[in-house]
Each structure stands twice: as structure tokens, then as C-alpha cells.
Structure 1
Amino acid sequence: MKKLISILALAALLSACGNSETPKTADTTTPETTAVTETAPVETVSAEAAKFATYNGEGFSFSYPENWKSVDTSQWNAPAIKAAFSDQSSSTEFADNINFTIEASASGSVDPEEFANNTANYYLQNGSAIGISEYKKTNYTNKPYKEYNAGVLEGTYTNNTGTEVVLVQYMIPSTTDLYSMTLTYAKDSYDQDEVNQIIDSLSISATLDQTPNANAAGVAVADFFNSLTPYVTSDTGVLDQTSYDFFAKHSDLFPASTAELRKNVKGLVDSNVTTRHLNKNVANYFEKFVKVSGQVIQVEEDNSLGSTFSIVLVMDDNGNYITALYPATTGDLLDGDFATVIGLPITNYSFQNVGGGFTNSTLIGASLVVAD
């Protein structure tokens, strides 16, 4: 299974680049709206004040070294990255850089340290896929933004040119969005004072809601299935709004993690619905729990989202297939075992089989996966 790139890791795509790999803004391109300013000297800065330019984006602004240039990030298809600049004048293999992202928060959490820990864990487990190797979290500091909770994650890694890199991320969460400023320097050019000045320059015009979302758990579960449905189906399937709302309303059942919840789920199963019904028209069963038993053809687990989820391919006695997307581990379940899946049908799709043809399957958001 290919590894998912975490939403939080999008900002690291630029951070992992070497100077020769960094896309540059064409010389004929009109610069972003900026104003060159000089920062007032402070005790920790040299007598000669550093010169900065100010980038004014939609709803935010920040300062960056005036000799850094705007970077075209369109090749990464990452709309969360709202602005990026790098030191393209450097002759070294790594370009010091900064980027700013605004992305939807699936969890609704307003705890910046939670985001920082999840991000650090992602780099540890999957960083090599985006050019970040030997990542080490060196520090986390709570650093409020105005009256809002926010924090700074600091770490180091080695990029694909062999350069030792310092990675600093300032994270400001709201119940709907996560605002992140990511600064990346080669270790030899890292300047703590400059980093602090850039972080302190950040200004966000929106009013940030940090009131805990009463339905955060429901939204997180629904967003989990919504975001992974295209991934599992190779972008051929989507989660219907009816299914999204049902997952959000019954989030405590995904997964059914206690004996009482497992009993409740089993009682909700519509035993009249079979894989033949799902193959005919899955849309008729978006709000019905179904049960499918059969042989496990393939079971995979993934930790790239900060917690374990599983994808289990099962063939029933009629030779029909279901694919269970399960937000938990399957324990000791292995290929060739027999299992029962209980959950909500999401969509029908096809995948290429080893014979070169295609196999039809129904994707199910699994509440329970148990070995028979």
C-alpha cells in the first residue's frame, strides 16, 4: 500500500527540497504584493537591523528576509500552502525557506501540542517518503498567538542532499482550521533570532474559534471515511452526504471498541442485505448496517495518520468481494484467515487483479472486524 501524505506534512514538501530542486518564480513574474521594511533592533539582534519584506495574503501577513523569492508550489497540487519563499540566491545545495498553510482541521481539536506530536510521529514513521530522514523532535514550546493557544514544534532531519536541516513549525489551531508557519534552515545557516522575528510577525485577520467542538468526534470519524474513500478506490469512489451524516451521528460505533458497543452494532445489522444486493445498488443501503463473512484475501494496516487503520479485502461464499476500511487494528488477523465484517456500505468500485483484469468490490466503513 502506498503511504498517505498527511495533511500536516504538506508544508514539509517544500522544506525537504534542495536548492536545485526548488521551483523558482520566473524572472518575468510580477512579485507578490510586498513592502520592504526594516525591523527595529532588539537586544538579541545585531546592531545592524535585518531587512525584511512583508507578504500580505488573503487574511494573513508575515515578514521574511527581503532577498528570498516567491516559490511556485502549484506542481505539488497542495492548495493548503498559501505562500512560500526561499533563499534562491544561495549557492548551497539546500535553500532556506518558509511556507504558510491554512488547512481544514478534521479533528476539531484546539490543542497545538496534539498537532505537534502527530506531526512529529508522522515524520518519524513516513518522513523518508518526502525526503525527510533521521527526523528528531528537539523541542515543543507553547507560544500563544494573541489570546489563542498555539505552539512551536522544533526538530532536525537530514534531507536528500545530505544536508542537516532545522525544521520549525508554528501551529495555531481553531475548531475549523489549522494555521501553520513552517521555517526550514540548513543547520549551518540557522538563525534563532531571525526565526523568532518571522514567527512574531505573523498576523491573521480572522477571528479564531478555539471553543471545543461538541461534535468533534463525529466530524473526525466522518472525515476519516470521506478522505480515505478516494484513496482506497483510486479516486473512483466518493462518500455520499447521506453516509457522511450517518457516520457523524454514529461516530461512537466506528470502531465498536467495547462489549456494549459491539452488542449494539450486531443488533443493528439488516440480515436481509447481502453482497448481491450491494452489487445491484449500493445507494439503497447507505444507512443500513450489513454483515459479510468470508475469507481474508488481503489485510493491511497503516499508521501514517498518527493512529492505526486497516484495509481488509474479504471474499464471501458467493465469490463476491467487500473491502473493509476499519479505523483500528485487526489484531492477529492475517491473509487466508476467515473474518466477519459489520459496517456501512460506502460505494462500489473495481480494482486491478493479478490476472490483469478487474475485480468488483463494495467499500464498507467497518464498525467491527472479527476473526471467525
Structure 2
Amino acid sequence: MSDRFSFSIAATDGAARTGTIAMQRGEIRTPAFMPVGTAATVKAMKPADVRATGADIILGNTYHLMLRPGAERVAKLGGLHDFMGWDRPILTDSGGFQVMSLSELAKMSEEGVSFKSHLDGSKHMLTPERSMEIQRLLGSDIVMAFDECTPFPATRDQAAASMDRSMRWAKRSREGFDAGGEHASRAALFGIQQGSMDETLRQRSSDALREIGFDGYAVGGLAVGEGQEEMFRVLDFAVPMLPDEAPHYLMGVGKPDDLVGAVARGIDMFDCVLPTRSGRTGQAFTADGPINIKNARFGEDTGPLDPECGCPVCGQWSRAYLHHLIRSGEILGAMLMTEHNLFFYQSLMAGMRDAIATGTFAAFAADFSTRYRKPRTEG
């Protein structure tokens, strides 16, 4: 086993897998959910509290960190782990999605993407080589190849051109990463499958990525507005195209029932801002579906957010108190709601790992779906 990166599958149940990614900064239990720490912080959470929810790895954002405080400054201050006080693995995205999402400020070429900062209007150029350099300066454990996030909807010609460019950028990312010296000797590089909703394009993308060679493989270009049914349809053919022996990462997903459905289709890793963003705005995830704690019906409710949840929030504070905090705009409300949501997500991942290991995943998924999606008066 390499002390740089290894992935072992302990059990399978249908297409679902459970296993372990081993890296120098620790092991990552899969299926894994990565809380998003966009600007070197998981919003409203201290690193130790994030870890206490069960998270083995978090995600940092290349685009935002390159603009503020700057990758070179983070490197000067000891790297992202020391800077934010997180000593376990960190995956950094490539910055491509954020640059593309600011399309009115960005201009794409074969070289890369030139854009103006949304913070101060300063001009920047992000290329595959620069993305690899930034992620090296940050000290990322899992580096993502620089790609073009294909817009949705897209014509087949648009999707093909976008995918082909991403594959050319993937090769340049591989070369840039390999030139990273000591960092390349201890970090991992993931490629990103593209091709929009088209099976043939996804296969071409997968073939190109296999030829280049990566430690892990992400499914990109989903959760962009196509809806869950279409996302699952694409995953049904896209995931089997990826190497079985490598981790499969579905980027930017998602809702709890998205995670269960994607694990059933062979996905091992996820990230999404939903549990933290929802927490700050008053939405709590529970086994019986999400609830809006701002709703007046919770004003005098002395019960916990989720009676079956084992998190510290549910063990100490009532729905009525959380209702008061969120309605009053108190910072503590965002903190407690976020902590609960992250605990819920990590508990869901742990439940899926256990179910796969015991060969009961299909029953677990069916029970979860029936309960989570059941009609209710409170949404």
C-alpha cells in the first residue's frame, strides 16, 4: 500500500461500495460526505466540531482562496491545514466551476479562463497549470483537474466541444501536477468526467481520462438543473465507465435522497454546501424530511429537531429555542443548525456504510426513501 494514496473496497452490495481511502493525513471512510469549507472555514463551525460530526475530509475552494487571502499568502503561512487548523485530508476543487459561474466576467480560450475578481475587479488568468500551482501552494491532499463545467442545457455539439476541451485540460493538469515536486509525492490527483447528458460523450471522456491516468475519478456536469431523475439516469451509465478500483466522486451533490440514490449507483464521495447553507437559513434535515424551523408551529415546541438524532444539538436544545434563535438572527442559531445538519449527513453516510457491509443496503435505501419522502404537513 502506498502511503501517498490508496483505495480499498471492503464490501459491495449491488453497485454500492464501502471502503477506505488512505493518505498521509488520515483515512477517509467511504461513502464519504465532505463538508464545504469555501474560504478556509466550514461556515459557523470550528474544525474540531466538524470532525466531531464524523467528517474525515473537507473541501476547500481554489477560486475563492486564490482571490482572498491568496494562495501564495496561505503557503507563506504554512499551508491551508495549518492556516485553518484542520489536520486531516483536504480536497480542493480546481476553481473551474466558480469561474464559469461568473460568465459575465469571464472569457474562455484554449489557454484557460481570464476573468475579473468579483471582489475588486482585478484581472486574473486561471489555466490548468495555474490551478495545479494554486492547489500545491494550498497544500491540498486531493487535487482536482481543471475542467470546463458544461452548461445545462447544452446541444450535443456544445457538450462535445466542452468535454474535449476538458480532456485536453485534464492532460495539462496531469503534467502540471506531476511537476509539483514534493507535493506530488504525497498528494493525489482526480480527473473529471464530462459529457453532459450524452452517453457516448461520457464514454469518450472516460476513455481519455483512463489513458491519462488519475488516482480517482469525478463525475462532473451534474446537479446543474437537470433534476434528480435525469441525474440518476446519467449515473446509471456514467459510473460503470469509470475504473472500479478507483474512488468515484459526484461533485456538488446533494440532498440526502440524492446521496442514497448515488451510492446505490456506485458513488463513493460527495460534497455540497446544502447542509451548511440550509442550517444558516433555518432548514434542518431529519429522518422524516427537512423542516423549516422558522415556521410558527415550532415557537412553543419543546422537542428536539429530530427525536432519533444523537447530535449534541438535539440532546440539549428544543425546536422552540432554535426557532427563537433563527427568527432573531442570532449567530448561535446558525451554528447549532449547521452542526445538526452536518451530523445528520455524516450519520446518513455511516448508516449506508454499515448497510453495505452487512448486505442490507437495498432495504436501508428503501426504508430511508419511504420515510424521508412521505407526505407531511411541514416542509
Superposition TM-score, scaled by structure 1 size: 0.30
Q: Which has the larger share of strand?
A: 1
Q: Which has the larger share of helix?
A: 2
Kindly name which structure, 1 or 2, has the bigger radius of gyration based on alpha carbons.
1
Superposition TM-score, scaled by structure 2 size: 0.29
Higher RCO by CA contacts (8 Å cutoff, separation 6 or greater): 2
